[in-house]
Amino acid sequence: MSSESARANAAAEARFRIDDANWRQRVVKVMALDRRSEPFVRRLAQGQWGGATFFTASAFAPAAPSNADGQFSLASWLSDLAGRTKDLLDELHTADLVAMVAMAGENVQQVAAVIGEACKATHVTTIGFVLGSAAASPEALSTTLGQLRPWTLMLLIAASEEAIAETLAALRA
Partner 1 sequence: MLRREQNDLLTQTGPNTPGGRLYRRYWLPALLVEELPNSECAPVRVKLLSERLLAFRDTHGRYGLIDEFCAHRGVSLWFGRNEEGGLRCPYHGWKYDYTGQCVEVPSEPEESGFCSKIKLKSYPLVERGGVLWTYMGPPDKRPPLPEWEFATVPREQSFTSKRLQECNWLQAMEGGIDSSHVSFLHRGELSSDPLFKGAKGNQYNLRDTKPVFEVAESPGGLYVGARRHTEDGNYYWRITQWVMPSFTMIPPRGDHPVHGHFWIPIDDENCWAWSFDYHAMRPLTGSEVAAMRDGKGIHVRYVPGTFRPMANKDNDYLIDREAQRAGRTYSGVAGIAMQDASLQESMGPIVDRAKENLVSTDNGIIMARHRLLRAIKDLIDKDATPPGVDTGHQRVRSASVVLEPSQAFVDAATDALNVRPGVAHSTV
Q: Which spans of this chain sit near partner 1 (rule: CB under 8 A)? A: 2-6, 8-11, 13-14, 17, 22-23, 97, 125, 127, 133, 138, 141-142, 145-146, 149-150, 152-157, 159, 162-163, 166-167, 169-172
Rounded to a whole number of angstroms, the minimum distance from the CB of residue 161 to partner 1 is 12
Residue number with CB closer to partner 1 (118 or 136): 136
Distance CA 33, CA 18 (A): 41
User: 67: which residues sit within 8 A by CB, 6+ positions away?
Assistant: 73, 75, 76
In the chain, what is the straight-line distance between the N-terminal and C-terminal CA atoms, in Å?
45
Q: How many CA atoms lie within 13 A of 168 on its CB side?
A: 31
* Residue of 70, 32, 27 whose CA lies nearest to 51: 27
* Residue of 81, 85, 78, 96 whose CA lies nearest to 41: 81
Residue number with CB closer to partner 1 (75 or 135): 135
Residue number with CB closer to partner 1 (70 or 138): 138
> How long a stretch of residues is the chain?
173
Rounded to a whole number of angstroms, the minimum distance from the CB of residue 40 to partner 1 is 17
Rounded to a whole number of angstroms, the minimum distance from the CB of residue 83 to partner 1 is 29
Residue number with CB closer to partner 1 (74 or 168): 168
Rounded to a whole number of angstroms, the minimum distance from the CB of residue 102 to partner 1 is 14
Residue number with CB closer to partner 1 (84 or 123): 123
Distance CA 91, CA 88 (A): 5
Rounded to a whole number of angstroms, the minimum distance from the CB of residue 137 to partner 1 is 10
